[in-house]
Structure 1
Amino acid sequence: MSTLVQIQVLPHHLEDEDHILEKVFQKVDFSMNEVSQWSIRKRSIDARQRRVLYNLQIELWLNGDKKPVREPYIINDVSNKPAVAIIGAGPAGLYAALRAIEGGLKPIIYERGKDVRSRRRDLAAINKEHIVNPESNYCFGEGGAGTYSDGKLYTRSKKRGNVLKAMEWFVDFGATSDILVDAHPHIGTNKLPQIITAMREAIIEAGGEVRFNEKLTDIKHENGQITSIQINDSVWYDYDHVILATGHSARDIFYLLHNRGIKVEAKPFAIGVRIEHSQSLIDQIQYHGDDQNPYLPPASYSLVEQVDGLGVYSFCMCPGGIIAPCATDVEEVVTNGWSPSKRNNPYSNSGIVVSVSPQDLPNYKENDPFVCLEFQKKVEYDCWVAAGKTQKVPAQRMTDFIAGKVSTDFPKTSYQPGLTSVDLNEVLPDMLASRLKKAFVAFGYKMKGYLTTEAVLHAPESRTSSPVKIPRDDFSLEHVEVKGLYPCAEGAGYAGGIISAAIDGINCMDRIIEKHN
């Protein structure tokens, strides 16, 4: 049995163990002599007051208490076990495969894109040459969208499954143990590829399979049961259990299911722009002028405002980050943000997006599953056209956007393909532009200095979540009409990030293991 103690320390005391323990023993009625072990269980920054502090949750074990020792991930031999198909090698697919091995099943992952290392050439092509590979990009390929777009591990989905287990598996495969402590854990795009590779190697070592450049192109079901899948328009494989973990950008999967009589439905999502400030400005605002403190990390922020009946909020905020081109097809432009592990770039970026429900859209029809998807596609196409039909993005200084005038120049930004100066009021639908303008003004009051001519809007930020939901049974996690088909994670509308997707992958595989047992 352990004891938990909450304390606050100044940033320069964060690694001073004597100071930490002195504050701890001011709050308990026993001495250090009675303690066998202690550790920091949770760590977060409190910048709400003029003085920035760290909140620490300290865990103590008294003499006679035994600190639990966790067994690392164990690789079992499943080469001759029943096979389960997993479509997609993102966090949901990889974690489903790891859980299958734990449960005595053989996972076979089909991934439309390339392995995590080979993806880099395609990312370089889109950044430098404006060439989009529809099968290998920031969204498609081993590790999924999160691998090269930040690696944030924060989730609010505490009730969906074992968050700690998902985090510990990351540590088992190479992540620093700091992710088990930080309130907003982050691995970083520069470190995630090695971790993803280690997971794949473990799956193969156990007798599982990871197949790249193998795309789901058709599906068969009979009498309400999945029977087989087609890969690359050619080979059919028979399966009783298929986990569909294809990600929020695999639009072809939504159309495929619909065409095969498998129910899909429209789902609320969010869309807007990605804004970039200098990181030094955000540090100065958030740390109340203490922005040169070497003990403080690059600052983040979270903003939300209700505007004309819809929510406008910051999304995927990246301190010390870079804005990346995340299109998955040739006639579209998409932005997203990422940070390296040290978050040491001079820029700060965040999506600022408007919540959109199907009923909010001008072309809404009650039984149209693609009304949100088509809206998303049109915004991306219009931005592509406005930027010159390249991977440049239509851009505007924030103050010019509010004033409705085209920017004559830009400060240096992190978006490598380049910017095209436009009036985003004329490019974006009015339902988005009008609300974004009001929200930026409100955010300027909430964060003094945020509303500045030095901030640049890059459009669009559109892949926040899936605009289509693949409905499933709440208990079995199978599709509501097709047994053995498990819609999973972000692409099905049941997750919103790396950890929640990983947990959903585990949960879907748990149901399959229960059936086999």
Structure 2
Amino acid sequence: MQKEIDLIIPPENIFNYEFIRNAAAKETRTNIEEITRVSIIKRSVDARRKNPVYRIKAVVFINENPAEETVNFDFKNVEKGKRVIIVGFGPAGMFAALRFFELGIKPIILERGKDVRSRRRDLRAIQQFGIVNPDSNYCFGEGGAGTYSDGKLYTRSTKRGDVKRILNLLVYHGAQSEILIDSHPHIGSNILPKVVSNIRETILKHGGEIHFNSRVTDFIIENSRIGGVIVNDEKEYIAEAVILAVGHSARDIYYLLDKKGILIESKPFALGVRIEHPQNLIDSIQYHSKKRHPNLPAASYSIACQVDDKGVYSFCMCPGGIIVPASTAPGELVLNGMSLSRRDSPFANSGLVVAVDEKDWEEYKKAGVFAGLEFQKSIEIAAFESGGKNQKAPAQRVIDFLKGRSSDSLPPTSYIPGAVSYDLNELFPERIKKSLREALLIFNKKMPGFISAEAQILAAETRTSSPVRIPRDRTTFRHLQIEGLYPAGEGAGYAGGIVSAAIDGEKIAEAIAGYLM
């Protein structure tokens, strides 16, 4: 017999199986000798009470030996299969490719950046020397932006597709099995590169192709149908369909689409700052204690409010993490956050961003569909110049930002290139800085201590999502004008994060299979 139960477990016993087994026996009113296994299927921290606890959902097996669960994927060899080009090797592109093997279609992947190992040299160059490689950085390269930014896997997109399948594919390729049960799963930037490498090996093993250092520079289009692409201005790749899974920072692709007369649209996005606190401060706020129990994870937060007509919210919160330079071109400064699997940095950081739309980029309306993108670029260029033109970040204590004055000194930061004091009120338009100031006061009421002398903001967090959408049909997923062209993932404006992008990639693969077969 099996019973599904809910249990409350104190942190000191969350890894004590016998304690959990005894608790299950009590909950099911069963003799402990009759319980053959307790399998945890969901685990979360409940910090609403004074003493935080774990809440777990478990299946209790009574006088029954459960069969071992195995998850297998029917990856076929596709050497002679129909061919589909995938532009971009981030989550959308990767998971589209994996799904193609189950559908008997050969993926040809073109990635402008490098493999994960080679990519590390360019990350070191931007961190230590301020040198930005436009094709290999924190956004571009094998695995996309997610590879080196924590690997958060929680999503609100559960209605879009099978989240558990995506998580199982990641575990199959080397991710820790805990991601299957944690309510806020993440992998960590120290483990993700190996997972990404393993996915690459699966693709190559089953007959797929992966070409690095391959920037798409043109499309081969005839009679409103795409037949292939041109790479690095010289080499042609021909296929029955093309997936554009380019990520939210591939501005050259947007410009190319517009140049070719292929429909794209501007869309709202969000921008603002990275806010950083000591992790022990966030722990004390969230866990109501000066010292976090070692079995509790580094505390996180998710906060949002409305200021006038603008949404302001935390974005990509990284407990126990670091801030990194995510610039994709010289002369700009873009920040992002990442953390390792243990999340053991002494800092907590998060994007703190304001929703922006055409009202905010009114002065750039002459740029047409690129008005929002030009506004985004203007903030990034201003941040670069304010920081000293070398990837150092302009920064300010939160208390000084609220008072409209530069900080005489800055607290320690995780940001390796370093920070310089600058009044960020000078960086943002009035509507945005007003929204940030008022939101900070609201957030401090929700989390007393959020505003403190130790809290600082660094600029600029601008790549929350793409400022451009590549429109597609809701049913076929094809571009509205070009047959055989399939926009996918964050870069097309249809996803936000690893899991939702992966789900989108799979749906695109299935749509293409129906189209080709």
TM over 0.5: yes
Contact 1:392 1:418 in 2 (8 A): yes
Shift of 1:32: 5.1
Distance 2:3 2:215 in 1: 51
Partner SS state of residue 459, structure 2 = strand
Structure 1: distance between partners of 2:187 and 2:385: 35
* Secondary structure in structure 2 of the residue aligned to 1:146: helix
Whether 1:368 aligns to 2:365 is no
Check conservation: 2:149, 2:339, Cα contact below 8 A: yes
CA distance in 2, matches of 1:35, 1:368: 66
5 Å-filtered alignment, 1:127-146, equals 127-146=127-146
Alignment partner, residue 415 of structure 1: 415
Letter matched to residue 38 of structure 2: W
1:245 equivalent to 2:245? Answer: yes
Q: Return the alpha-carbon distance in structure 1 between the equivalents of residues 505 and 34 of structure 2.
A: 43
Distance of 1:179 and 1:370 partners within structure 2:
38
| AA in 1 matched with 2:481 | E
Residue type matched to 1:463 in 2?
R
- The CA distance in 2 between the partners of 1:45 and 1:379, in whole Å, is 37
Map of 1:15 onto structure 2: 15
- Tell me how far 1:74 sits from its aligned partner: 4.4
1: distance between equivalents of 2:499 and 2:72? 18
Instruction: Provide the residue aligned with 1:76 in structure 2.
Output: 76
1:500 aligns with 2:500: yes
1:271-324, Cα deviation, whole Å (9 max, x unpaired): 000011100111111110152312211110111111121011100110110000
What TM-score comes out, normalization by structure 1 length?
A: 0.96
* Equivalent residues in 2 for 1:29-178, closer than 5 Å: 35-63=35-63, 67=67, 69-178=69-178
Structure 1 residues 38 and 224, CA gap change in structure 2 (3 angstroms) = farther
Return the offset for 1:234: 1.1
Deviation at 1:238, TM superposition (A): 2.2
Kept in 1, the 8 Å contact 2:367–2:374? The answer is no
- Secondary structure of 1:274's partner? strand
Shift of 1:227: 1.9
The code of the aligned residue for 2:345 comes to N
**Which residue is equivalent to 1:292?**
292
- Read off the aligned partner of 1:16 and give its amino acid letter: N
**8 Å contact from structure 1 (residues 154, 186) kept in 2:** yes
Q: CA RMSD in A?
A: 1.8
Distance 1:510 1:33 in 2: 48
Partners of 2:25 and 2:304 in 1: how far apart?
39
Q: Which amino acid aligns with 2:349?
A: N
Amino acid at match of 2:225: Q
Cα distance in 2 for residues equivalent to 1:464 and 1:120: 23
Given that residues 395 and 419 in structure 2 are in contact (C-alpha distance below 8 angstroms), is that contact kept between their aligned partners in structure 1? yes
Inter-CA distance 358–314: structure 2 relative to 1 (3 Å threshold): same
Gap regions ≥5 residues in structure 1: none
User: Whole-Å Cα distance in 2 between the matches of residues 159 and 366 of structure 1?
Assistant: 38
In structure 2, the residue corresponding to 1:228 is in which secondary structure?
Answer: strand
- SS of 2:45's partner is strand
Structure-1 residue corresponding to 2:234: 234
Distance 2:234 2:430 in 1: 45
Question: TM-score with structure 2 length normalisation?
Answer: 0.96
Task: Indicate conservation of the 8 Å contact 1:226/1:241, yes or no.
Answer: yes
What is the letter of the counterpart of residue 373 of structure 1?
Answer: L
The aligned residue for residue 221 of structure 1 is 221
Q: Report the Cα distance in structure 1 between the residues aligned to 2:176 and 2:292, rounded to whole angstroms.
A: 26
Amino acid at match of 2:204: I
Q: Deviations over 1:211-243 (max 9, x none)?
A: 000011111323332122111111222222111
User: Percent identity at matched positions?
Assistant: 50
Q: Hey, what's the Cα distance between the residues in 1 that align with 2:65 and 2:514?
A: 35
Moved more, 97-106 or 66-75: 66-75
In structure 1, the partner of 2:387 is: 387
> How far did residue 49 of structure 1 move?
1.6
Please list, as runs of the form range in 1=range in 2, the aligned pairs for 1:274-423 lying within 5 A after superposition: 274-289=274-289, 291-363=291-363, 365=365, 368-423=368-423
Distance of 1:101 and 1:32 partners within structure 2: 46
User: In 2, distance between residues paired with 1:45 and 1:315?
Assistant: 20
What are the superposed Cα offsets for residues 188-210 of structure 1, whole Å, 9 maximum, x if unpaired?
00111111011101111111111
SS class of match (2:230): strand
Q: Secondary structure of 2:373's match? A: helix
Q: Deviations over 1:437-468 (max 9, x none)?
A: 11111111111111012111110111111111
Matched, 1:449 2:445: no
SS in 1 for 2:363: coil
Q: Does structure 2 conserve the Cα–Cα contact (< 8 Å) formed by 1:397 and 1:456?
A: yes
Q: Deviations over 1:19-43 (max 9, x none)?
A: 3233334443655566554310010
Question: How far apart, CA to CA, are the structure 2 residues paired with 1:400 and 1:163?
Answer: 43
Counterpart residue type for residue 404 of structure 1: G
